[in-house]
């Protein structure tokens, strides 16, 4: 809290920490999603073959969706900045 | 505060990914996205943006309405 | 963040930050709830008329519930402080 | 630590709102709460308070039981 | 992060805070789980007898599971450190 | 950063407890765990560890693949 005065606004350490938190958040969500999509039960204490490949594909697809959403978001935001819609009928 | 905002938008982003993944990805027969899936993701993001804008506007209206100015 | 030493206990900046976090948390929960209540699918990339009004009403009701829960909570806590129940049968 | 507690009670509050909303609000034909809904919300809060008190007491009992005093 | 040099690595205050956060997280998860397992509806504003004992048992079992998972995790991690599996078929 | 890691593993631990509890505990007729339940919890933890290791490895592979080195 007693940081040097001018490093306040864009502290590179905080940026790195935030990035890491973003990655940790991404991982933890992916883990939850892929567990619920790929692991139907715990009747066995090991991963079955089918579960393993499901996990692999789930990770692969999750990354692809992550990337796609990022691109789409940016594209949308640029569009939104350009046209700025006004009317919102209720 | 700035960090908090960064954190917030990251959460929104990651939340949107999770939402659209759950909505659009239903099987794992292959590791690449299929055409139907990418189309669904696109609509999901567009729809979420529209939803998000509308709900954000309504939220701010309500929030202002409700806020009583602090007497200091 | 470089507050004077003795302002530690009730730092107004922290109060403001907490309030903002509370509001952000409220918004994010409302967003999740109203999405799941009002958006049944993403077969179209746009909001249908019915979805729009559902969202509007969802926000309105969510705020009302938020307010009501707050009032009810306070009322309950005052009651609890006055009578202080002792016995908790198992 | 103080901030943490504030944060905690805010989370509990917001969590309760979400819980009771999900429990009691089932349709969006109008923008105002109906009688049945407000009644449900009231019961939801009262019940949650009772639940919360009981689970909190049990939690603390268990937690004390389990805690081995640190040898410093 | 440019805190006084030696208090950096194992700040006892941070350890205590983290422990408290862990406990708070445990409690909040337990609360959610036991609510959804024991409280089927809010048709009445009071806890029914059966709900009360369900809550008591839910807490008891949750603590037992918490303890058991902790032990099992440690055991597994020790095993993992000893054998270090290499092959991961896809 | 160190604190963050501690926080993370605590979250993983608490999350695992919640997951396995939901998976394995289905009734509350008694306050002690039954044989079937403890067996289920054991398998749940073992399976989660295997799952976790696999998904962690895949995640890191993907993450490295995707990361473009910063030009500083």
| pLDDT by position in tens, chain F (length 72) | 566 666 667 778 999 999 999 999 999 999 999 999 999 999 999 999 999 999 999 999 998 887 655 544
What confidence score (pLDDT) does residue B72 get?
A: 42
Residue A87 pLDDT level (bands cut at 50, 70, 90): very low
Which ipTM did the prediction report?
0.81
Q: Which residues of F touch A11 (CB under 8 A)?
A: none
What confidence score (pLDDT) does residue A2 get?
A: 45
What confidence score (pLDDT) does residue C35 get?
A: 96
Q: What is the rounded average pLDDT of the residues A65-87?
A: 82
Range of the domain at A75: 13-79
What confidence score (pLDDT) does residue E87 get?
A: 44
- Closest C-alpha among A20, A71, C84 to residue B13: A71
Residue B22 CA to residue C42 CA, distance in Å, equals 11
Contact A90 C56 (CB under 8 A): yes
> What percent of chain B clears pLDDT 70, i.e. is strictly above it?
81
Asked, for residue A63, whether it belongs to a domain, the answer is: yes
Asked, for residue C84, whether it belongs to a domain, the answer is: no
Interface of E with D (CB under 8 A): 17, 20-21, 23-24, 27-28, 30-32, 34-35, 39, 41-47, 51-52, 55-56, 59-60, 63, 67
Asked, for residue A28, whether it belongs to a domain, the answer is: yes
What confidence score (pLDDT) does residue A33 get?
A: 96
Residue C73 CA to residue B24 CA, distance in Å, equals 40
Residue B49 CA to residue B34 CA, distance in Å, equals 23
Chain F segment 41-70 residues within 8 A of E by beta carbon are 41-42, 45-46, 49, 53-54, 57
The segments of chain E whose pLDDT lies below 70 read 1-9, 84-90
What confidence score (pLDDT) does residue C79 get?
A: 82
Q: What is the rounded average pLDDT of the residues C63-79?
A: 91
Is the per-residue pLDDT at A5 higher than 70?
Answer: no
Better-predicted residue by pLDDT, D18 or D11: D18
Asked, for residue A84, whether it belongs to a domain, the answer is: no
Which residue in the set C47, C63, C67 is minimally distant from B51, CB to CB?
A: C47
Residue E38 CA to residue E16 CA, distance in Å, equals 32
Q: CATH no. for residue A59?
A: 1.10.287.810
Better-predicted residue by pLDDT, B33 or A21: B33
The number of distinct structural domains making up chain E is 1
Asked, for residue C71, whether it belongs to a domain, the answer is: yes
CB contact set of E48 (below 8 Å; sequence gap of 6+): none
Asked, for residue C39, whether it belongs to a domain, the answer is: yes
Angle between helices C49-83 and D35-66 (to 10 degrees): 60
Is the per-residue pLDDT at C88 higher than 50?
Answer: no
The answer, for F22 touching chain E at a CB cutoff of 8 Å, is yes
């Amino acid at each position: 809290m007693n940081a040097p005065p001018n490093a306040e606004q864009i502290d590179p350490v905080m940026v790195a920490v935030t990035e890491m938190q973003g990655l940790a958040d991404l991982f933890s969500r992916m883990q939850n999603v892929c567990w619920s999509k790929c692991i139907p039960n715990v009747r066995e204490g090991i991963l079955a073959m089918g579960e393993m490949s499901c996990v692999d594909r789930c990770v692969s697809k999750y990354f692809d969706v992550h990337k796609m959403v990022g691109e789409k978001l940016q594209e949308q935001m640029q569009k939104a900045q350009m046209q700025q819609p006004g009317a919102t009928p209720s | 505060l700035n960090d908090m905002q960064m954190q917030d938008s990251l959460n929104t982003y990651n939340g949107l990914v999770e939402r659209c993944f759950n909505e659009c990805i239903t099987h794992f027969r292959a590791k690449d996205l299929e055409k139907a899936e990418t189309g669904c993701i696109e609509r999901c993001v567009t729809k979420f943006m529209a939803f998000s804008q509308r709900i954000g506007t309504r939220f701010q209206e309500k929030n202002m309405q409700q806020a009583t100015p602090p007497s200091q």
